[in-house]
Amino acid sequence: MSKVVPKVFRINTGSCNGCDVEFVAAAFVDKFHIATSDVEFVDDVKDANLLVITGPLTARSESFLKNALTKLKKPFTVVGVGTCSVSCGIFRDSYAINGPLDKFVDVDVNVAGCPPRPESIAEGIAKGIKVLEQKLSGEVTPKTIDTIFSDFSAPASFRGRMDLNPDMCTGCRTCETVCPSTAIKIEENEEGFIHNIWHNSCCYCGNCAYFCPTGAIFSTNSFDTVKLQNEKFSDVNVANIPFEECSCCGEKYMPPSRGLLGKSYVHDDVNKLNTNICSKCRKEANFKRMYA
Amino acid sequence: MTQKITIGPFSPELEESVYFKLEADEERTITHVEIINGFIHRGMESLVTKKNFMQNLILTERVCSLCSNNHPFTYALAVEKIAGIKVPMRAEALRVIADEVKRVASDLFNLSMLTHLAHNHELMRDTMNTREHMQDLKEIIWGNRMDMSANLLSGTKYDLDERKIKLILETLDIVEPKLRDLQERYETDEQLRKKTVGVGVLPKEDALEIGVTGPVARGSGINNDVRVKAPYSLYAYRPKLRPKVTLREEGDVHARAMARFGDILEAVRIIRDVVADMPEGDTYVEKRPHIPAGEAVVRTEAPRGELIYYLKTDGSQKPVRMRWKVPTFTNWEALKVMILGDKVDNVTMILNSIDPCISCTER
């Protein structure tokens, strides 16, 4: 089999230009590997076999994108760069957005991030090339592709994928309120709260971590956001925050988290404070202690 | 015989989608320009009214990722004006540092695109590599290479300790000599001069009439830098901080690039000045302040020129109306003067020379 020469063409469908700038950085700065590998950047969309598409697909761009796609020769691979191309991210629910991209194109690789690091974009393109090779040789694309560039690292302070420490969370919904891209959803069932973080909607702004009163939600420095299309909807961080049973009345209630108690009772050992008692029973007990 | 030429909307030479319909004569001199836009319209003005004040801190950042610190900065100034919040001095200093770091990175990116379009790849690579130092700095201190998320209503989210200040100074020590070297090369490089001198001329009279701002105005000999004319934040308290802008009379692509270099070097000087004399104290007043009903107009100097925010609130959690006047909006009109009578091959370079932020303009 002859070697595939990936011919890359970038289409901006309404991005805030962050991803486009980072794409240029990835393409021209040596340390991100694309500049030194056999990737060709073509001037015309009809010569391309690897499309890099950024942006949430605005209503105005839709027909132009469709037109551009008809010029392409099959097989080609599509790499969606940026959270908004994957899920519209922060621009979701706007009247001017027709996206996300996979409504109109068969996307192969998604690179979430707002904007993704050039390292992630390079990784996304490398994975796109793998998919392209498989398409050309008629193989079936595997469910996952291992990380290709293993020598990339991020500083500890990098705002990457969010994580939750359920021990510290009380389900106060601050994160849900301040999240600009509605990537966080807290559901309730009989057992407790379920805290969901959708990594493909997250815009990695760190607002939730900043406003969280207990530090339960925090950003890790993981930038592992390059996923194949079949992983798009499963890239979720789910945490359970269980209710406790009241030792007096037996009713289920949401106990204050260690973090919250630590803020209120600065001088006490928090672990001894929580006596499994719901707020209603606690009020009653306190009332009796003071007035009975 | 006139020939019709179209450029865009998707072209590797265009950072953002825009569509040119040109008419040119036999010598490929442009006789008619029509610019079609709207590709990046995401309905921002409607979106901001659907989101609360905390969410808008981030949404305004996504108006444009190249001036992504200026937008929340100006938005925060507008909110603070309505709420009557006095921001601590340390926060003002931190905001200015974030702003100037962003300015250096943004202008350097524009310059590297200029050399890219002028097919001077060696110079482009060096500019990009110099910019990488600022990008790394942003990633270490603010946590993201583009969207720094530095601002908070009534202050800043981040603080600088000794170690971080040392890192900033070390980075500037590496970057500054490189910048001076680049400035020299941009000024003298024969190939670049041939491509840019006398191209896309905007005479001073036209510049005044259209009301261009930022480096475009400075390239035509007009100084209307908001940091000098109507100082805000720390620039208001410390007159010495205000930039000594570089003015060029030529009004061509090259002059605008050199005006940007002046901006970059002044930004480096400003960061050094602020860091050398950091005010002590808190970095914010309140994490989630109450915003009463009111109206405010605020303007600041973005890397591309004057940025104006209009904000109207009604005491609820969400703004009633938010409106922008972005620098590219006025600079855009100047394009027609610049492009008309120039060569077709220069169009993308002239477009790049106003540092167009189409995502700001079309929102």
pLDDT at A35: 67
Inter-chain touch B43–A95, beta carbons under 8 Å:
yes
What string of H, E and C letters represents the secondary structure of chain A?
CCCCCCEEEEEECCCCCHHHHHHHHHHHCHHHCCCCCCCEECCCHHHCCEEEEECCCEHHHHHHHHHHHHHCCCCCEEEEECHHHHHCHHHCCCCCECCCHHHCCCCCEEECCCCCCHHHHHHHHHHHHHHHHHHHCCCCCCCCCCCCCCCCCCCCCCCCCEEECHHHCCCCCHHHHHCCCCCEEEEECCCEEEEEEECCCCCCCCHHHHHCCCCCEEECCCCCCEEEHHHHHHCEEEEEEECEECCCCCCEECCCCHHHHHHHCCCCCHHHHCCCCCHHHHHHHHHHHHHC
Q: How far apart are the CA of A157 and the nearest CA of chain B, in angstroms?
A: 5
As a whole number, the mean pLDDT across chain B is 87
Q: Which CATH number do you get for residue B295?
A: 1.10.645.10
- CB half-sphere exposure, A244, CA atoms < 13 A: 15
Task: Say yes or no for a CB contact (<8 Å) between B147 and A115.
Answer: yes
Does the residue B276 lie in any domain? Answer: yes
Render pLDDT for B26-78 as a digit per residue (tens, 0 to 9): 777 777 778 887 888 888 888 899 889 888 988 898 888 888 888 999 999 99
Q: SS3 of B311, please?
A: strand
- At the topology level of CATH, where does A7-136 sit? Rossmann fold (3.40.50)
Contact: B54, A211; criterion CB under 8 Å: yes
A42, closest residue in chain B (CA to CA): B12
Domain positions in chain A are 7-136, 162-221+233-242, 244-291
Instruction: Give A285's contacts (C-beta < 8 A, 6+ positions apart).
Output: A248, A277
The average pLDDT across B105-127 equals 88
CB atoms B128 and A29 under 8 Å: yes
Cβ of A134: how many Cβ atoms within 10 Å?
Answer: 17
Beta-carbon neighbour count of residue A267 at 10 Å? 4
Of B40, B128, B157, the CB nearest to A14: B40
Half-sphere exposure of B306 (CA within 13 A, CB side): 21
H-assigned helices in B14-120? 44-50, 53-59, 70-83, 89-117
Q: Please state the domain count of chain B.
A: 1
The pLDDT of residue A1 = 46
Does B166 reside within a domain? yes
Cross-chain CB nearest to A58 (options B39, B59, B65): B39
Q: How many angstroms separate the Cα of A259 from the Cα of each of A168, A255, B154?
A: 5, 11, 26
Q: Does B358 touch chain A (CB under 8 A)?
A: yes
Task: Please report whether residue B335 resides in a domain.
Answer: no
The per-residue pLDDT for A71 is 84
**B109 has a chain A CB within 8 A of its CB:** yes
In chain B, pLDDT over 90 holds for what percent of residues? 14
Q: What is the pLDDT of residue A273?
A: 60
Using a CB-CB cut-off of 8 Å, the residues of chain B touching A55 are 40
Per-residue pLDDT of chain A in tens (292 residues, 90 and over written 9): 456 788 888 888 888 888 888 888 888 887 887 766 777 788 778 888 888 888 888 888 888 888 888 888 878 888 999 888 888 888 888 888 887 888 888 888 889 888 888 888 888 888 888 888 888 877 777 767 777 777 777 788 888 888 888 888 888 888 988 898 888 988 888 888 888 998 888 888 888 999 888 888 988 888 888 888 888 888 888 888 888 888 888 888 888 777 787 777 777 666 666 577 888 888 888 888 888 6
Structure-token pair, residue B48: 């901001």
pLDDT greater than 80 at residue B7: no
Tens of pLDDT, residues B137-190: 988 888 888 888 888 888 898 888 889 899 999 999 999 999 989 888 888 888
> Do residues A90 and B149 touch, judged by C-beta distance below 8 A?
no
The CATH number corresponding to A162-221+233-242 among 3.40.720.10, 3.40.50.1100, 3.30.70.3270, 3.40.50.720 equals 3.30.70.3270
Kindly state the average pLDDT of the residues B353-361.
84
Sequence-distant (≥ 6) Cβ neighbours of residue B362 within 8 angstroms: B37, B38, B39, B40, B41, B42
CA distance B200 to B202: 6
**Residue B74: predicted pLDDT:** 92
Does residue B129 belong to the interface with chain A, where contact is any CB pair within 8 Å? yes
Residue range of the domain that includes B79:
41-326
pLDDT in tens, B284-318: 888 888 889 999 999 998 888 889 999 999 988 88
> Under 8 Å CB-to-CB from B62, ≥6 apart: which residues?
A16, A18, A90, A91, A114, A203, B68, B147
State pTM to two decimals.
Answer: 0.88
In a domain, B309, yes or no: yes
Q: For an interface test with B, which of A12, A72, A202 has the most B Cβ atoms less than 10 Å from its Cβ? A: A12
Is B147 within 8 Å of A24 when comparing Cβ atoms? Answer: no
Nearest in space to B41 (alpha carbons), one of B58, B16, B20: B16
